[in-house]
Chains A and B, each alone.
Chain A
Amino acid sequence: METIREEIEKIEKSAEKLKALGENNPSLRRNAEILLNFVYVLKFIAPDLKNLP
């Protein structure tokens, strides 16, 4: 699960960056936001048991 979490975080960072780069491009920005919505779902379905409180 650790590797999976790492990959999800990579996507998250990349999507955040795309969103910032798309500041003046609604299409790029919205698609990056949508990626982040899926990142939220991915994190939810792949919880990292080691880091649970």
Chain B
Amino acid sequence: MNYWNPYLETMAQEELKRIELSYFRNIFSHAKAHSALYREKLRDIHPNDLRTLEDIKKIPLTEKEEMRKYQEMEPFPYGGLLAGDISDVTTFRQTSGTTGKPIYVPETYESWQWRIEAWCHILYMAGFRPRHRIFLPFGYNVYVAFWEAHYASEKLGCEVIPGGALDTKGRIHKIMEIRANGMMNTPTYGLHIAEEAKKMGIDPGTLGIERMLCAGEPMPSATRTRLEELYHCHVFDHIGGTEPCAWAGMCEAKDGLHIIEPFFLVEILDRETLQKEVAEGEIGVAVVTPLGRRSFPLVRFNTKDLVVKGKTSCSCGRTTQKIREVVGRTDDLRKVRGVLFSPKTVEEVIRKEFQEVEEFEIIVERRGLMDVISLRAEVQPQLPVGLIEGTKARLAESLKIATNLSFNVIIEPPGSLPRYTLKAKRFKDLREG
């Protein structure tokens, strides 16, 4: 069977949209009745006003900043974001707090099971089946991603190996010891494990990983290809977040990500006005409404994820709306010397053309009236000294072509740049603050 839920995944788009409208009205009414945030926010809108999906554009977007404000209310610690009785909450999760005070997310047994069901779509689409023994190389802590992965893997019938409380070398040994054949990790950490394995004299391609699901960072296709080459495996991507859940995943065609319909209503809106839906092939901001999670309802949540809208057809036979590419975060897009710049472009260039670069960091700073953009790059220790200058010159040239910006390229000694296990922070804008 190719589909986790063939009924939903091959349904005509018009039918999916009918279901989504119906579910949207349900979650809208629930949110308005049970959450202080939405009681106030949706005060002047009645569910009967929502007759078409076009009508929902009248509803203001939900922004993280206002969620923080309502979180300060009672009951502690969820405040006005909780929609229901606090005694029904069975799990605490929280956001990483990268952009401010973390958001605390209450999950009831019901909402968690709903969330896990959505996640099963992502795993199944990526070809995970009960025969897979999946290694999760993280301590999960209070962050949701790997808990979801863990529970969804179990639900699907896979065998899960929690790989927390080990260092990278320990994890490599554990993968070999128990013959794991699946792994889920950030792209950065996937590359780091491969690098460490090589240092231990182990070819990462011999670790036995057949399938890898990546999360946590935008993954350029060149990074995905590099991981596939390193591990000799299939690598898949997905997108999501603590608040909206994981809402789109990659199928075996590896041609964009399928939105998990009808679990999520995803609007891809023009990034300037945040009103109009963009056309296929255009970049927009993803606005997500999880349609069945009642403990912590979100109505039109502004994810700030920039994506390229894709088709509603795929060689895999699914009929769900696709996104062609995850571009990055609106927070990551910066104007440098008047040019709109995305750090993902740099990663794409490096992973595609510069196998000798092991780690990098981008720094933007202001010197006088000028913005200066630098790339600190770490090359493989075995690269002959005579070739380093050539790499440096080629990097500057390729980055100029890809970004229209002149980079000051600095080659750093091996091991001097930080390594990341979760979300990498390779972009530093020192002009701020």
Contacts and interface: CB of A to CB of B under 8 A. Distances in A.
Interface of A: 1, 33-34, 37-38, 40-41, 44-47, 49, 52-53
B22 A52 contact: yes
A41 B15 CA distance: 19
Interface of B: 5, 7-8, 15, 18-19, 22-23, 25, 108-110, 113-114, 117, 262-263, 292
6 contacts: A37-B113, A40-B114, A41-B292, A44-B114, A49-B19, A53-B25
B8 A45 contact: yes
Given A40-B292, A44-B114, 12 more contacts: A33-B109, A37-B113, A40-B113, A44-B292, A45-B5, A45-B8, A47-B22, A47-B23, A47-B262, A49-B15, A52-B22, A53-B22
A47 B110 contact: no
The winner among A34, A44, A49, A52 for most chain B CB atoms within 10 A is: A44
Nearest to B19: A47
A53 B25 CA distance: 10
Q: Chain A at the B interface: mostly helix, strand, loop or mixed?
A: helix
* The 5 A-B residue pairs with the shortest CB-CB distance in the complex, in nearest-first order: A37-B110, A44-B292, A52-B22, A47-B19, A37-B109
B89 to A, nearest CB: 13
Given A45-B117, A47-B19, A40 B110 contact: yes
Contact of B7 (A38, A41, A46): A46
Contacts of B19: 47, 49, 52
Nearest to A43: B292
A3 B108 CA distance: 29
